A and B are shown apart, each in its own frame.
Chain A
Amino acid sequence: MTFDLVLNGVRRTVQAAPGDSLMDLLRRLGCKSVKNGCDDGYCGACAVLLDGRAVNACLVFAARAAGHRVDTLEGLSREGVLHPVQRAALDLGAVQCGFCTPGIVMTALDLLARNPRPTEHEVREALAGNYCRCTGYVKPVEAILAAAAEMREAAE
């Protein structure tokens, strides 16, 4: 089947089989930040934004995105300038092997859009579906809190 979606702000016409997952479609379209960690909804490495909400791309049918907005990590940096959440992840040591990082960043974006001033507990709850098998959970939480503070300052 053929349908349109808005991928990282750009309208695209794409082809997918009716049973395809959004994860498989996005990877085929070259969005390799969408990692296939478990293909079962547990690890969160494939998290993307669907109409602004973070979902496991492996649990959503690609066709569900027809006429909707999908955002992946690929669309975050602007002219080579990283998004504050990406920058903070790098600067504050939140990236170890990096496999879980895109999913964590996308999940954080959903949280920060609804809650610009999250507590540490709220960040931890938001990340409940993002596994880091390097077990580096402390640094991503710190990075998200730092990025939130920076984004609040920039918004003022």
Chain B
Amino acid sequence: MSLTGITAYLQPGTLEEAYGLLDDRSIAVGGGTDIIRHPHIGVTTLVDLGALPLRYLRHESGFAIGGTATLSDMLEHPGLAAHLDGVVAEMLRGVGSPLLRNAATIGGHLARGRYSDIVPLLLALDATLTLFDGTERTLSLADYYRAGLHRSRALISEIGLPPAGPDTAAAFLKFTRVAFDYALLNCAVQVRLDGRGMVEEARVAVGETPALGALVEAAAQSLEGGPLDDGRIDASAELAAAAIPAQDDQRASAEYRRALCRVGVRRALFRARGRLEGRRQ
């Protein structure tokens, strides 16, 4: 959808320059797939980040993903596609369509901060962001949303995923009405076991409640320090269903969302447990 009222399209070559061009009348463009679909009152200038050297994906100890890497770049990176039993690729295959993923960037997706399958999983995987707003700093994705920085002008230059050893497994689940759709609810978990097979650290994130995905601390804490058995999985799922800020909207009722959450978290934890067991054999 062509946008009206836009009088300039700028393509800066550096992050500093790009940030310097942002003000009340301008907006940063990653893939543009979200911006182009909505009118932006008062915005006259588009600041395209496409010429910045941020389209990269490096497999170091974990992963360093440049802010303008596309969702397809992520899906097609063999190392990332294999990470944690392919959980990132599995999630990305359900985000829109290949046509969308070829254009949409990870930085744009995270800064947009609504309707997201990516956010819950990256929260569960303990992703970090590197931001630029005059100076550069790195913080957790959870803190980024907690502080409301997605509503600021800070530019996302990099997304970091920590390494995961053989004692860690994750899973993601999305409920939709039809295959190519936003979620009615989605959830992601990550579990790390200690040497005795007890849960050392758990992370549970639930999204589209319909609020943006967020960690559910109570559900994660209840898993820690014990075995990942059926009873503790059920209890965690029950806590998650009670804790999420479920609301009615045109997609689903709050009650239905709590029911989906209970089933989703339970299934995701079972799936993660299956993956951990699969590795021991």
> With an 8 A cutoff between CB atoms, is B243 at the interface?
no
> With an 8 A cutoff between CB atoms, is B100 at the interface?
yes
> With an 8 A cutoff between CB atoms, is A155 at the interface?
no
With A58-B36, A64-B48, A125-B93 known, 20 other A-B pairs at CB within 8 A are A18-B7, A19-B4, A20-B3, A24-B2, A40-B1, A41-B96, A44-B97, A54-B98, A55-B99, A55-B102, A56-B100, A59-B37, A59-B100, A63-B9, A110-B98, A114-B76, A128-B180, A129-B98, A129-B99, A130-B99
Chain A residues near B97 (CB, 8 Å)? 44, 128-130
Q: Which residue of A lies closest to B34 (CB)?
A: A59
Identify 5 residue pairs between A and B in the complex whose beta-carbon atoms are under 8 Å apart, listed by A's number.
Answer: A19-B3, A19-B5, A53-B102, A59-B32, A61-B36
A58-B1 Cα distance, complex, nearest whole Å: 6
> Which 8 pairs show the lowest CB-CB distances between chains A and B?
A129-B97, A19-B6, A19-B3, A18-B9, A129-B99, A63-B9, A59-B33, A53-B102
A53-B48 Cα distance, complex, nearest whole Å: 19
> With an 8 A cutoff between CB atoms, is A86 at the interface?
no
> With an 8 A cutoff between CB atoms, is B179 at the interface?
yes
A44-B50 Cα distance, complex, nearest whole Å: 23
Chain B residues near A50 (CB, 8 Å)? 102-103
Chain B residues near A24 (CB, 8 Å)? 2
Contact across chains for A63 and B48 when beta carbons are under 8 A apart: yes
Contact across chains for B1 and A39 when beta carbons are under 8 A apart: yes
- Give the residue among A42, A44, A54, A55 with the most B Cβ atoms within 10 A: A55
Chain A residues numbered 46-103 whose CB sits less than 8 Å from any CB in chain B = 47, 50, 53-56, 58-61, 63-64, 66
Q: Which residue of A lies closest to B99 (CB)?
A: A129
A103 to chain B, nearest CB (A): 8
> With an 8 A cutoff between CB atoms, is B164 at the interface?
no
Contact across chains for B46 and A128 when beta carbons are under 8 A apart: no
Chain A residues near B31 (CB, 8 Å)? 59-60
Question: Which single member of B3, B33, B76 contacts A41 (CB below 8 Å)?
Answer: B33
A53-B37 Cα distance, complex, nearest whole Å: 21
A53-B235 Cα distance, complex, nearest whole Å: 46
> With an 8 A cutoff between CB atoms, is A126 at the interface?
yes
Q: Which residue of A lies closest to B94 (CB)?
A: A128
State the total of A-B contacts with C-beta under 8 angstroms. 97
Size of interface on B: residues with Cβ below 8 Å to A: 31
Contact across chains for A61 and B32 when beta carbons are under 8 A apart: yes
Q: Which residue of A lies closest to B72 (CB)?
A: A53
A19-B48 Cα distance, complex, nearest whole Å: 12
> With an 8 A cutoff between CB atoms, is B82 at the interface?
no
Question: Which single member of A20, A39, A56 contacts B103 (CB below 8 Å)?
Answer: A56
A64-B5 Cα distance, complex, nearest whole Å: 18
Contact across chains for A21 and B36 when beta carbons are under 8 A apart: yes
Contact across chains for B50 and A41 when beta carbons are under 8 A apart: no
B221 to chain A, nearest CB (A): 38
Chain B residues near A138 (CB, 8 Å)? none
Per-residue B-contact encoding for A97-123, CB less than 8 Å = 1, 0 else: 000000000010011001000000000
Question: Which single member of A18, A41, A107, A114 contacts B37 (CB below 8 Å)?
Answer: A41
> With an 8 A cutoff between CB atoms, is A29 at the interface?
no
A59 touching B180 in the complex, CB below 8 Å, given contacts A129-B96, A129-B97: no
A59-B6 Cα distance, complex, nearest whole Å: 16
A125 to chain B, nearest CB (A): 7
